Amino acid sequence: MTGGTRLAGEVAVPGAKNSVLKLMAASLLAPGRTTLEAVPDILDVSVMADVLRGLGADTRHDRDEGQVVIDVPDTVESTADADLVRRIRASVAILGPLVARCGEARVALPGGDAIGARALDIHMNGLAKLGAVVDVEAGVLVARSSGRLQGASIWLDFPSVGATENLVMAGVLAKGTTVIDNAAQEPEIADLCALLTAMGARIDGAGTSTLVVDGVEGLRPVVHRTVPDRIVAGTWAIGALMTGGDVMIRHGRAEHLGIVLEKLTAAGASVELGPDGFRVRAEGRPRSIDVVTLPYPGFPTDLLPQVIALEAISEGTSLITENVFDSRFVFCRELHKLGADLRTDGHHVVVRPTPRLVGDSVLASDVRAGAALVLAGLVAEGTTEVRDVHHIDRGYARFVETLTGLGARIRREPSEVAAA
């Protein structure tokens, strides 16, 4: 890509990656046909579809229609394909549904981005409270229940999104009432609860820190539209500010990006809310801001690399603090190659102003780092090459095409086209 062009125009935000993969897992709870709409055309959806096929579900991903149709049999397999599971961390979301449906689940320890440890202890301890026996055997997470799971009161040591999702999905078919305290409050959790409720589950407290789940005997398949992707929307908003651009972000939900849009406004962006999204405009060099990542409704960790790229071209010194993952700053080495003045110390990074970024060859280490490096390349002098962009395909649909439509001078080399 060649830097120096402002982003201007309109983008449409698809359904959320961090929701649709869990919705696909939840389909296992109900025999019959579940249809998910507003599904992003990303690599992780294809991988999750393969995971479900391996469990016996006939899964079809219509990329043109943005739809996934999942036909779940009366009996599903309890052992997931290890190689597929290790490709995406979200695959752990099948654990709860399989234990609830089959009384047993065998799921390889998941893979995914190189952004630090994501301990599964919270998942395991919660399922144990529901009556399952959970252990790790030769790199495989194994959960067994001698009968129907039993409702319980569960306190999460950390408001883990994945654990909250697994325990809600396990609890909807458990006998009695399950109460999950210190639950994650992300919009994707509320989206999952909306799907489950439509399927016949009884859930109170969606979107709050306490979820109350009254178990039911069975669920029915439904048609459900995925919540828009707040991280994709936030990425385009940051890109508009970095390039001094003007971007209308259709389907973006400002209420899901409260603190993010507040920070961008403080950095110099003009944010205009509309009936179907919001518009971000900017002129001149951004002002520096300090950011601390926290579980929702705090600043999302998935926008941390993008905001560090923003700070690399901002006036003044900023302090960025990461409180969720322990290896988010790995990509700072790559951003430094472009001329960013960064100093990391534990879970902090200090970003000092620099006259300009200069194009170079850099490596994407994960989904969000890849997107952030591309945004940095759009404002760097000369040409920037971002390698291993298959990571970006895991979270952003038609990334290069969207940027081209906004005026960016960017192309994708054929060797970097990922196979779906």
Give 157-185 pLDDT, tens digit per residue.
Answer: 999 999 999 999 999 999 999 999 999 99
Domain hosting 68: range is 17-225
- pLDDT of 420 higher than 60: no
62 is in an annotated binding site: no
Average pLDDT for 64-71: 96
393 is in an annotated binding site: no
- Boundary (domain end) residue, out of 225, 255, 271: 225
Q: What is the pLDDT of residues 239-284, one digit of tens each?
A: 999 999 999 999 999 999 999 999 999 999 999 999 999 999 999 9
Q: Is residue 154 part of a domain?
A: yes
Same domain, 268 and 357: yes
Helices (H) and strands (E) in the chain, counts: 14, 21
Beta bridge partners of 9: 247
Structural domain count of the chain: 2
- Boundary (domain end) residue, out of 201, 225, 249: 225
17 is in an annotated binding site: yes
Q: Is residue 3 part of a domain?
A: no
Q: Is residue 102 part of a domain?
A: yes
Q: Which of 71, 81, 113, 204 is labelled catalytic?
A: 113
129 is in an annotated binding site: no
337 is in an annotated binding site: no
Same domain, 130 and 143: yes
Q: What is the pLDDT of residues 16-53, one digit of tens each?
A: 999 999 999 999 999 999 999 999 999 999 999 999 99
Report CA dihedral (388, 391, 396, 402) to the nearest 10 degrees.
0
> Can 135 be counted among the known catalytic residues?
no
In whole angstroms, what is the distance from residue 227 CA to residue 237 CA? 18
What pLDDT does 117 receive? 43
Same domain, 186 and 280: no
Same domain, 293 and 193: no
What pLDDT does 19 receive? 98
Contacts of 136 (CB under 8 A, 6+ apart): 109, 142
Contacts of 235 (CB under 8 A, 6+ apart): 303, 306, 368, 371, 375, 396
In whole angstroms, what is the distance from residue 377 CA to residue 272 CA? 26
pTM value > 0.85: yes
Same domain, 213 and 333: no
Same domain, 220 and 254: no
Same domain, 24 and 88: yes
The mean pLDDT of the chain is 94
Q: How many Cβ atoms sit within 10 Å of the Cβ of residue 210?
A: 12
Same domain, 244 and 217: no
